[in-house]
């Protein structure tokens, strides 16, 4: 699943290539992906792309006041196409193609565009065509962006104060902080040397400052690595840049201990016992419930 750094890099990638071009057409292949009806997608036809930005994990393509917004969800991705001239019309079917956006040709005669694809059987990729990004419920409810200047240690302190949830869950709650998902929350907690099960409200001021620093540096570093990469190379870059997430059984780069995994909510999380939990493996709650 693309998180803040990948969506940020995708926005930058699209900005360089799509801004200034007109939308020739939008082909919706997976009808369930389109979540809005007014304005219709046809309203984008002939309109020039004026900007591309990010809201949390949402990608926002501004077509002169009409916004084409997408959330790629778990299995979604964006594929840039240098030339869609002569591309076959797509029929709804079993393939991964969900939406195709065709753009006007440049001086070279090539008409580029991009395609939103979704792998797997769980279709969660979402597209919204709106006049104001705040009309998208997921955007209206977003917490602060961790890379915005306004996201200070004081803001994080207000977030954790009195909050009885586990810090892992809090970090990936989009209503609390925008843009962090399962992968980067594991990474942030490893950098902060903090147990994922720690209760947010129990953090000392020093720990809050350390966590804030870990959030900002982890995301900034990941954006730095992703920046300038082609859309197709971002997935591999994300994977290679992760130090604990998805690395169960491998050695921790920092201390050499073995990275472990424990179930959490609807999936699992990875952590280093020596770096984060005083060397003690976390109990798998799902398992202990079964044993009772
Ligand atoms: Zn370690």
pTM, rounded to two decimals: 0.94
Closest Cα to residue 156, out of 170, 136, 138, 139?
Answer: 170
> 247: CA distance to ligand 1 center in Å?
12
Does residue 95 have a pLDDT over 90?
Answer: no
> 152: CA distance to ligand 1 center in Å?
27
> 190: CA distance to ligand 1 center in Å?
8
Mean pLDDT of the chain: 94
Burial class (CB in 10 A: 0-12, 13-18, 19+), 59: buried
Q: Could you give the CA distance from residue 73 to residue 173 in angstroms, rounded to a whole number? A: 14
Does residue 292 have a pLDDT over 70?
Answer: no
> 226: CA distance to ligand 1 center in Å?
25
Closest Cα to residue 269, out of 172, 125, 142?
Answer: 172
> 134: CA distance to ligand 1 center in Å?
41
Contact 272, 255 (CB under 8 A): yes
Stretch 51-68: mean pLDDT, rounded? 98
Burial class (CB in 10 A: 0-12, 13-18, 19+), 58: buried
> 184: CA distance to ligand 1 center in Å?
16
> 266: CA distance to ligand 1 center in Å?
25
How does residue 230 score in pLDDT terms, banded at 50, 70 and 90? confident
Contact 52, 22 (CB under 8 A): no
Per-residue model confidence (pLDDT) at position 88: 81
> 248: CA distance to ligand 1 center in Å?
12
Closest Cα to residue 178, out of 1, 2, 4?
Answer: 4
Measured CA distances, 84 to 39, 88, 208 (Å): 25, 9, 49
Q: Which residue has the higher pLDDT, 291 or 162?
A: 162
Does residue 56 have a pLDDT over 80?
Answer: yes
> 153: CA distance to ligand 1 center in Å?
25
Does residue 184 have a pLDDT over 90?
Answer: yes
Does residue 287 have a pLDDT over 60?
Answer: no
Stretch 171-194: mean pLDDT, rounded? 97
Stretch 67-87: mean pLDDT, rounded? 93
């Amino acid at each position: 699943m693309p998180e803040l750094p990948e969506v940020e890099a995708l926005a930058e990638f699209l900005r360089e290539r799509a801004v200034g071009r007109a939308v020739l057409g939008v082909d919706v292949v997976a009808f369930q992906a389109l979540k809005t009806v007014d304005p219709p997608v046809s309203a984008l036809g002939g309109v020039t792309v004026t900007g591309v930005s990010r809201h949390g994990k949402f990608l926002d393509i501004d077509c002169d006041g009409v916004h084409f917004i997408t959330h790629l969800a778990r299995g979604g991705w964006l594929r840039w196409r240098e030339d869609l001239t002569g591309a076959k019309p797509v029929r709804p079917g079993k393939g991964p193609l969900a939406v195709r956006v065709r753009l006007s040709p440049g001086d070279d005669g090539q008409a580029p565009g991009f395609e939103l694809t979704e792998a797997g059987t769980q279709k969660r990729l979402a597209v919204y065509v709106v006049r104001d990004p705040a009309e998208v419920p997921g955007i209206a409810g977003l917490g602060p962006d961790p890379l915005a200047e306004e996201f200070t240690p004081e803001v994080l302190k207000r977030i954790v104060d009195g909050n009885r949830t586990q810090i892992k869950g809090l970090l990936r709650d989009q209503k609390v902080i925008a843009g962090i998902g399962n992968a980067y929350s594991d990474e942030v907690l490893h950098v902060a040397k903090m147990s994922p099960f720690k209760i947010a409200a129990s953090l000392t001021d020093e720990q809050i400052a350390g966590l804030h620093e870990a959030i900002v540096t982890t995301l900034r570093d990941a954006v730095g690595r992703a920046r300038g990469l082609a859309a197709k190379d971002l997935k591999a870059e994300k994977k290679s840049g992760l130090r604990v997430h998805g690395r169960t059984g491998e050695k921790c780069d920092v201390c050499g201990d073995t990275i472990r995994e424990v179930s959490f909510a609807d999936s699992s999380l990875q952590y280093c016992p020596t770096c984060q939990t005083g060397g003690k493996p976390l109990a798998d709650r799902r398992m202990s419930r079964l044993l009772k």
